[in-house]
Amino acid sequence: MIDLRSDTITQPTPEMRRAMAEAAVGDDVLCDDPTVIAMEARTAEVLGKEAAIYMPSGTMTNQVAIRAHTEHGDEIIMESGAHSAIMETGAPAALAGVMCRLLEGERGVFTGEQVAGAVRTENVHHPVTKLVCVENPPNRIGAGIWPIEAIADVARVAREHGLAMHLDGARLWNAVAATGISEAEYAAYFDTVSVCFSKGLGAPVGSALAGTREFVARSRRFRKQFGGGMRQAGIIAGGALYALENHRERLAEDHQNARRLAEAAATLPGIEIDLETIQYNIVYMRVPMGTGVRYVEALRGHGVDILSTRGDVIRVVTNMTVSSADIDRVIEAFGKVFGE
């Protein structure tokens, strides 16, 4: 079975498993796990930040960031399809006690002007606007990578209004591979950055939150409060560190495979694809309403596993388990299924 359901399905390579097995460990809650310390330091260096903290998931890094930036009753600004708004089980309300002011973006990208219009005036009746969250690249239908100019525009307005900036960079590595803009250049516009190691980079577990030393120290308390304190975490941090050092450059292969599949699928009857949105490793395809699950089942019968995100959309995510030769087989399977 060729698994294109997500880039979260990747498994550690033999080399990564070796690095994990040989990782020196300590007690991370007591801040003395040497592998975690090394991984956090290297992540902070790549992102151009003072410090970083390792957590079990990207949901936790995002939600700890929101909690550490705000107080209960505050309001935060993000795009209507942002992962933190709709895919993290209501955590901003449940854990941080904040309201979300959702903006309608263009392919997941909103503007500084929209931010300015969403900031609350000083009024005892209003929540206090504290934070702007940007997801880059966005994981939503029809979304593309944020242009650096658009990020700069939002950051400028945020600073003018005294707002903090947080980047949900779960797939920031993909944005870097696609644009050539470094992680540190993207991160420079943000107070805090969340990055994930268990998607395109292929590590089994974990994300990191980076920012100032003071902010990371505050975040450590909320990580523990949310249940994210880990003990001998060096075993899994060893995989994250190996992925960080060895798997970023290969992401271009996933992008090439996604593009080749999208271009082939776009020629088939019953599929609608906006090729302009195929900038990294996620491909959304529109199909006739109500047929998504049927197409998923039919493709599975041909050895290809994908997801239907709703009745008229199917999603393909290329990843390090899928080779160029596998994409040839996938294209053949798509041709048979949609040809029928």
Helix count and strand count (H, E) for the chain: 14, 12
User: CA 10, CA 321: separation in Å to the nearest integer?
Assistant: 6
User: CA 296, CA 283: separation in Å to the nearest integer?
Assistant: 14
**Do 167 and 286 reside in the same domain of the chain?**
no
Written as tens digits, the pLDDT of the chain (340 aa) is 999 999 999 999 999 999 999 999 999 999 999 999 999 999 999 999 999 999 999 999 999 999 999 999 999 999 999 999 999 999 999 999 999 999 999 999 999 999 999 999 999 999 999 999 999 999 887 788 999 999 999 999 999 999 999 999 999 999 999 999 999 999 999 999 999 999 999 999 999 999 999 999 999 999 999 999 999 999 999 999 999 999 999 999 999 999 999 999 999 999 999 998 899 999 999 999 999 999 999 999 999 999 998 889 999 999 999 999 999 999 999 999 998 7
**Do 292 and 222 reside in the same domain of the chain?**
no
**Do 41 and 143 reside in the same domain of the chain?**
yes
* pTM of the predicted protein model: 0.96
CATH number where 94 lies: 3.40.640.10
Contacts 24+ apart (CB under 8 A), 269-272: 269/338, 269/339, 270/338, 271/334, 271/338
**Do 257 and 235 reside in the same domain of the chain?**
no
Please choose, from the candidates 226, 219, 218, 214, the residue with its C-alpha nearest in 3D space to the C-alpha of residue 194: 219
The domain boundary, picked from 246, 277, 299, lies at 246
| In-domain check, residue 2 | no
Q: Are 269 and 335 in contact, with CB atoms under 8 Å apart?
A: no
> Would you call 331 exposed, middle or buried from its count of C-beta atoms within 10 A (0-12, 13-18, 19+)?
middle
**Do 282 and 159 reside in the same domain of the chain?**
no
User: Which range of residues forms the domain containing residue 275?
Assistant: 250-339
**Do 256 and 326 reside in the same domain of the chain?**
yes
**Do 172 and 40 reside in the same domain of the chain?**
yes
Task: Domain count for the chain, please give it.
Answer: 2
The pLDDT tens digits of the residues spanning 8-28 come to 999 999 999 999 999 999 999
Pairing of strands 51-55, 307-310: unpaired
SS3 (DSSP) at 200:
coil
Establish how many alpha carbons lie within 13 A of residue 21's alpha carbon, considering only the half-sphere containing its beta carbon.
7
